[in-house]
């Protein structure tokens, strides 16, 4: 199987690319940090900036030159901006949406005509637990992942008759090693009325990620799902407590659920 994968330079994208290669797939990986075409470790690496239409077109053309097929497209590219809603600028929201959501749209538009022409394909979109519930000081990322969730449902219905399967991967916290993709709202400082809550929430977020699940295990799960005759529409890969958080979010009244999350991230009410 020929697989295109975005965001493959670090974190969950890199772990997934390695797992796909180990499973015997031809992996054509893209990332903004790849400055030139390379082929180390059996993975073919090409420069790719998913926020640029020109870069997406160039990646697709080079990938087709390496192999005329694209059996699967796995989209892991993403960035995060931490900050309260009021402090996070419109430009920071735009930057996250442009990478985490519109980047997927651009890549799908490049791959879908090829998949339709060859009679089928598979698209795996990395969402997040944040695509299912809100987390304080992660509103930009949460909004982008909520957009991915709704978009993927539409894509799944529209492409089914062309033999194209769509799967949403919803990871919880993983030790992803992707600190270079994590940013903080530029206007955030100690003078902000949100400072205490922001410091508390970002400490909890960092602690949970450092103690998160093994990214290599996630990569192997994605590789196994890709090999199935029929992929699930959703694949949640998270710890039991994060599965519970999603369940309670859907079960409890919104006010009570918000109170629980506020106490968890802020340590007070």
* Residues assigned a catalytic role: 9, 127, 141, 145
Using alpha carbons only, how large is the chain's radius of gyration in Å?
19
What residues have CB less than 8 Å from 117, skipping those under 6 apart? Answer: none
Residue 207: how many other CB atoms lie within 10 Å: 11
Reduced to 3 states (helix: H, G, I; strand: E, B; else coil), residue 260 is helix
Residue 185 CB partners (closer than 8 Å, separation 6+): 81, 82, 83, 84, 87, 88, 89, 92
Give the separation between CA 227 and CA 223, rounded to whole angstroms: 7
Segment holding 236, helix H or strand E: strand 234-237
The DSSP symbol for 86 reads T
């Amino acid at each position: 199987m020929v697989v295109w994968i975005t965001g493959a330079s670090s974190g969950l994208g890199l772990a997934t690319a390695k797992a796909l290669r180990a499973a015997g797939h031809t992996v054509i990986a893209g990332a903004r940090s790849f400055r030139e075409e390379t082929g180390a470790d059996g993975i073919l690496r090409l420069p790719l900036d998913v926020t640029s239409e020109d870069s997406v077109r160039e990646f697709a053309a080079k990938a087709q030159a390496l192999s005329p097929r694209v059996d699967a497209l796995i989209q892991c590219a993403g960035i995060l901006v931490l900050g309260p809603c009021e402090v996070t600028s419109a430009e920071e929201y735009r930057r996250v949406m442009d990478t985490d959501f519109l980047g997927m749209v651009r890549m799908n538009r490049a791959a879908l005509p090829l998949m339709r022409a060859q009679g089928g394909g598979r698209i795996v979109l990395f969402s997040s637990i944040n695509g299912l519930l809100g987390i304080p000081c992660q509103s930009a990322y949460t909004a982008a992942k909520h957009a991915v969730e709704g978009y993927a449902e539409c894509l799944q219905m529209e492409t089914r008759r062309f033999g194209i399967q769509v799967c949403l991967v919803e990871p919880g916290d993983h030790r992803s090693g992707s600190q270079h993709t994590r940013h903080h709202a530029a206007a955030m400082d100690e003078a902000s009325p949100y400072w205490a809550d922001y410091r508390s929430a970002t400490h909890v977020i960092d602690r949970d990620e450092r103690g998160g699940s093994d990214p290599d295990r996630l990569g192997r799960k994605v590789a196994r799902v890709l090999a199935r005759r029929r992929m699930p529409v959703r694949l949640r890969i998270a710890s039991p407590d994060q599965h519970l958080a999603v369940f309670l979010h859907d079960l409890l009244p919104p006010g009570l659920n918000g109170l629980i999350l506020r106490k968890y991230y802020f340590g007070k009410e």
